[in-house]
């Protein structure tokens, strides 16, 4: 089915509330376990950047799973960050997680580079998807694990409706609307490979990891490092 873009920022109050109150434990725990499988030798420590952290559910789960890291979460929507700050406070993680309001690609962040870059469900929101890959290259250290999970655009309208029925039947209307719009705005693996090629990140892998998610992952090496290892 044809891709239909959706708005970038989630700054409507009712939209942010519905998202923050939804139970994303299954996909978000999956995010953490897939990161571990993608980087099994990594004893992750240091500074992690979460691009488009929203209400910080992934950020909090990731911080709990990797106790030696600190995380800077960045998002352009104050409505989402308000719920994120509450989540960080109630998890008692204020010492390890900072949430920053900034709009990609123009963000000014507290650090100039990070030991890992993660992002969940953000790529399909961006008006220009290359903003995400440019951000990964701008803020990831050489050798940093990069782990990006996003929705997978269904092949047909029937599949899309079935996913909404299966995963959002009892959700508030606004969440159902957003899930449906997000599935429509998501990318297919071949489109992601073209983006990675254009960004000079063709060494990254693209894997479908569920009926509605895919993951792009790899280590960030400079062009010189990639060229000399061939």
Ligand X SMILES: C[S@@+](CC[C@H](N)C(=O)[O-])C[C@H]1O[C@@H](n2cnc3c(N)ncnc32)[C@H](O)[C@@H]1O
Among 69, 71, 77, 164, the residue binding ligand X under the rule CB under 6 A is 77
State the CB neighbour count (10 A cutoff) for residue 197: 11
Interaction of residue 80 with ligand X, rule CB under 6 A = yes
Give CA angle at 93 (88, 99), nearest 5°. Answer: 50
- Contacts of ligand X in 56-75 (CB under 6 A): 57-58, 75
Give the chain's end-to-end CA distance (angstroms, integer): 37
State the CB neighbour count (10 A cutoff) for residue 185: 19
Between 23 and 224, CB nearer to ligand X: 23
From 55-63, 108-116, 166-174, 209-217, span contacting ligand X (CB under 6 A): 55-63
**For the chain, where are the E strands, in sequence order?**
46-51, 69-75, 97-101, 116-120, 145-151, 205-208, 213-219
State the CB neighbour count (10 A cutoff) for residue 34: 19
For residues 58 and 118, is the Cβ–Cβ distance under 8 A? yes
From 52-60, 186-194, 206-214, 220-228, span contacting ligand X (CB under 6 A): 52-60
CB of 225 to ligand X, least distance (A): 28
For residues 204 and 140, is the Cβ–Cβ distance under 8 A? no
Between 90 and 228, CB nearer to ligand X: 90
Between 21 and 158, CB nearer to ligand X: 21
Torsion angle in degrees (nearest 10) through CA of 60, 183, 80, 35: 20
Determine the residue with CB nearest ligand X. Answer: 54
Interaction of residue 214 with ligand X, rule CB under 6 A = no
Between 103 and 166, CB nearer to ligand X: 103
By CB under 6 A, the count of residues binding ligand X is 20
Give CA angle at 130 (161, 7), nearest 5°. Answer: 45
Binding flags for ligand X, 101-130, as an x/- string (CB under 6 A): --xx---------------xxx--xx----
CA–CA distance, 55 with 42 (Å, rounded to integer): 26
From 48-56, 166-174, 211-219, 221-229, span contacting ligand X (CB under 6 A): 48-56
List interacting residues with ligand X (CB under 6 A). Answer: 8-10, 52-55, 57-58, 75-77, 80, 103-104, 120-122, 125-126
């Amino acid at each position: 089915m044809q891709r239909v873009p959706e708005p970038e920022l989630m700054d409507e109050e009712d939209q942010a509330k519905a998202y923050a109150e939804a139970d994303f434990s299954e996909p978000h725990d999956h995010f953490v376990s897939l990161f571990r499988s993608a980087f099994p030798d990594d004893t992750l420590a240091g500074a992690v950047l979460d691009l488009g952290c929203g209400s910080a559910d992934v950020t909090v789960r990731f911080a709990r799973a990797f106790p030696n890291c600190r995380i800077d979460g960045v998002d352009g929507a104050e409505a989402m960050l308000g719920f994120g700050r509450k989540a960080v406070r109630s998890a008692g993680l204020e010492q390890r997680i900072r949430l920053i309001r900034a709009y990609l690609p123009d963000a000014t962040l507290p650090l100039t580079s990070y030991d890992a870059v993660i992002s969940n469900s953000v790529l399909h929101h961006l008006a220009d998807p290359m903003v995400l890959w440019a951000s990964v290259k701008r803020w990831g250290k050489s050798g940093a694990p990069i782990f990006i999970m996003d929705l997978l655009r269904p092949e047909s309208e029937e599949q899309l409706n079935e996913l909404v029925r299966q995963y959002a039947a009892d959700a508030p209307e606004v969440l159902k609307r957003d899930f449906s719009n997000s599935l429509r705005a998501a990318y297919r693996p071949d489109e992601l490979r073209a983006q990675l090629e254009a960004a000079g990140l063709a060494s990254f892998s693209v894997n479908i990891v569920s009926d509605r998610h895919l993951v792009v992952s790899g280590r960030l090496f400079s062009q010189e490092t990639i060229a000399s290892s061939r």
